[in-house]
Amino acid sequence: MRKPLLIFTLALCLLGFRNSFAQSTTTMQDILETVNKKVVQLEEKDDQEIVNITLDLLVNKGSKKVYRYLDPAYNYTMEVFGDRRVENLKVQIYKKPASGEWEYVSGFTDKNPFTMIYPKSNEQYEFTVSVEGFKEDYSAGHFALLLYHIHPDLKK
């Protein structure tokens, strides 16, 4: 009698832990699901090649910087997504040409910021992502930044 009761209690505890994780406000699960769907769409349907995916947590008014050298042989798309807690994201883009001084490229705020980038030479780019607004009473949320271009072997 004790053994079935122990197994039943253990099963309830495991289910409870699983549900509490799924309800966690800091889980990365939903942003991973969003990115996974986007990757499948880009690579399998849109013939795109993803060159960078960055996933990170933004807290309060903090920001994160992503650096990447972009090749002038490609025109890139930059897209940013927030998880269920993020209302709007702000992105600032700078580039560092051969002169060595950072130059402002563009900046915008949107639910899912999106832009095209046309490098003229092999230059380093800086993407700064911050939250412009959280949903409800949240003060933290995950974001995903994707950089991609047309796959050179699959051009339409």
Question: CATH no. for residue 88?
Answer: 2.60.120.510
Q: Is residue 2 part of a domain?
A: no
Here the tokens at position 28 are 């990365």
Helix (H) or strand (E) holding 16: helix 2-22
CA distance 131 to 86: 7
Quote the pLDDT of residue 6. Answer: 42
Q: Is residue 13 part of a domain?
A: no
Here the tokens at position 109 are 């705020």
pLDDT of residue 22 exceeding 90: no
Q: Is residue 51 part of a domain?
A: yes
Region 20-33 average pLDDT? 69
Q: Is residue 4 part of a domain?
A: no
Q: Is residue 117 part of a domain?
A: yes
CA distance 35 to 86: 15
Is 41 in a helix, a strand, or coil? helix
Q: Is residue 84 part of a domain?
A: yes
Report how many domains make up the chain.
1
Domain range for 86: 26-150
Q: Is residue 156 part of a domain?
A: no
Task: Dump pLDDT digits (tens) for 49-79.
Answer: 999 999 999 999 999 999 999 999 999 999 9
Task: Dump pLDDT digits (tens) for 102-151.
Answer: 999 999 999 999 999 999 999 999 999 999 999 999 999 999 999 999 98
Q: Is residue 5 part of a domain?
A: no
Quote the pLDDT of residue 2. Answer: 55
Higher confidence at residue 27 or residue 38? 38
Beta pairing partners, 57: 142
> Among 21, 82, 92, 24, which residue's Cα sits nearest to residue 57?
82
